[in-house]
Amino acid sequence: MVIQRKFQVFVSSTFKDLRDERQAVIEALLNAGNIPAGMEYFTVGSESQLETMYRWIGESDFYLLVLGGSYGTIDQVRKKSYTQLEYEYARKNGKDVRAIELSEEYLSAKGLFQNQDDDYKRFIDIVSDEAQRVYSLDGLEKSVYKICIDYMRNYDTGGWVRADYANENAQEKIHLMKKVEELENKNKELNERIQSLENNRFGDYTFEELLEVLKARSIVNEEGETLSLLDVFMNNIDTLTHGFVLDDEIGQKLYGSLVTFKALGLLWIATSVTPQRLRTSKMGGRFYLRQQLTGN
């Protein structure tokens, strides 16, 4: 289910000279399904109201600045306009900032273009590079729509969601979390089974199959006793682990069984030493430990 989010947008601009423009922006935001926030109902000039604006900016999802033809009312303590103070607060607090600049042609046609003082020019220089320039009220509304669409594409969190949508979404998340947990448990179980199977494999044989092969084959020792290859392997593990050459006495003694041990992968030729030595392979060591534990 697609969750319908409404984003709160703080609209910042001078107020008295841009009433029509602010109204156009607010209507565009509402038509786009979002929630406009601004200071239409406050009289600029007191510290508490500035703090209120800061709080509203903090609670909003993004900040939208509309630049007109005047710098606006100046805060006497900070010597900056309230519009610039709002902008700087939004930037400082990591808000997503969007800006629209009304063109000189539009402002002149409406009689809103004023002689710009140095403070305003400096503010324009800071903001103009990121601002979209518009030439009509229709262009202003279209720019607001584009900003909303772009924001929704890039931010899938935040915003306001109806309680019933939020509850359905919460239930869906719980369901998905349970599914994820079930899949993780199944994956763990499969990995354990795979590991168990791998631990039970000794080359082409399972442990039990290899055990039977070694039990079924035998040699006769110097005393005339018949010994299974399993007994030979287990009784001579120290010698096999240390390694030996075939010309050694022990090598000659065990020769009849060595070919089988090597063919089964229980021995390997250590080529890093001279003369080359036969010694227990990793699989041979694992088989010996397994047999010690089971005692078959």
Q: Both 245 and 288 in a single domain?
A: yes
Q: What is the rounded distance in angstroms from the CA atom of residue 241 to the CA atom of residue 285?
A: 8
Task: Name the domain boundary from 199, 227, 250.
Answer: 199
C-alpha closest to that of 67 among 139, 133, 16? 133
The SS3 of residue 262 is helix
Eight-class DSSP state of 73: P
Q: Both 12 and 119 in a single domain?
A: yes
Determine phi and psi for 112, rounding to 5 degrees: -105, -5
Q: What is the rounded distance in angstroms from the CA atom of residue 172 to the CA atom of residue 166?
A: 10
Q: Both 249 and 123 in a single domain?
A: no
Q: Are 143 and 132 in contact (CB under 8 A)?
A: yes
Q: What is the mean pLDDT of the chain?
A: 82
Q: Are 76 and 46 in contact (CB under 8 A)?
A: no
Kindly state whether residue 61 falls inside one of the protein's structural domains.
Answer: yes
Instruction: Give the orientation angle of helix 82-92 with respect to helix 118-127, to 10 degrees.
Output: 30
pLDDT for the residue numbered 3: 55
Tallying the residues shown for the chain, one arrives at 296
pLDDT for the residue numbered 1: 47
Show Cβ contacts of residue 269 under 8 Å, excluding neighbours closer than 6 positions. Answer: 262, 276, 277, 278
pLDDT for the residue numbered 246: 62
Q: Both 145 and 166 in a single domain?
A: no
For residue 119, pLDDT beyond 80: yes
Highest mean pLDDT of the ranges 46-60, 187-201, 235-249: 46-60
Kindly state whether residue 54 falls inside one of the protein's structural domains.
Answer: yes
Q: Both 147 and 236 in a single domain?
A: no
Q: Both 150 and 25 in a single domain?
A: yes
Q: Both 111 and 172 in a single domain?
A: no
Kindly state whether residue 1 falls inside one of the protein's structural domains.
Answer: no
Q: Are 278 and 251 in contact (CB under 8 A)?
A: yes
Q: Both 145 and 255 in a single domain?
A: no
Query: What's the maximum distance between 2 C-alpha atoms anywhere in the chain?
Result: 121
Q: How many domains does the chain have?
A: 3
E strand or H helix at 157 = none
Q: HSE of 50 in the Cβ direction (CA atoms, 13 Å)?
A: 19
pLDDT for the residue numbered 11: 95
Kindly state whether residue 285 falls inside one of the protein's structural domains.
Answer: yes
pLDDT tens for 210-235 read 889 889 988 887 777 888 888 888 88
Query: Which of 15-54 are b and which e, b meaning 16 or more Cβ less than 10 Å from the residue's Cβ?
Result: bebbeebbebbbebbeebebebbbbeeeebeeeeebeebe
Residue 97 β-bridge partners: 63
Task: Name the domain boundary from 174, 199, 224.
Answer: 199
Q: Both 17 and 144 in a single domain?
A: yes
Q: Both 248 and 194 in a single domain?
A: no
Kindly state whether residue 58 falls inside one of the protein's structural domains.
Answer: yes
Q: Both 149 and 171 in a single domain?
A: no
Q: Both 138 and 13 in a single domain?
A: yes
Highest mean pLDDT of the ranges 104-108, 171-175, 217-221: 104-108
The range of the structural domain enclosing residue 128 comes to 8-160
pLDDT for the residue numbered 247: 61
For residue 97, pLDDT beyond 90: yes
Eight-class DSSP state of 271: T
For residue 163, pLDDT beyond 90: no
Average pLDDT over residues 170-181: 70
CATH number assigned to the domain comprising residue 101:
3.40.50.10140
Q: What share of the chain is helix, strand, coil (3-state, %, to 5)?
A: 55, 15, 25
Kindly state whether residue 283 falls inside one of the protein's structural domains.
Answer: yes
Kindly state whether residue 269 falls inside one of the protein's structural domains.
Answer: yes
Average pLDDT over residues 74-79: 87
Kindly state whether residue 261 falls inside one of the protein's structural domains.
Answer: yes
For the entire predicted model, the pTM comes to 0.54
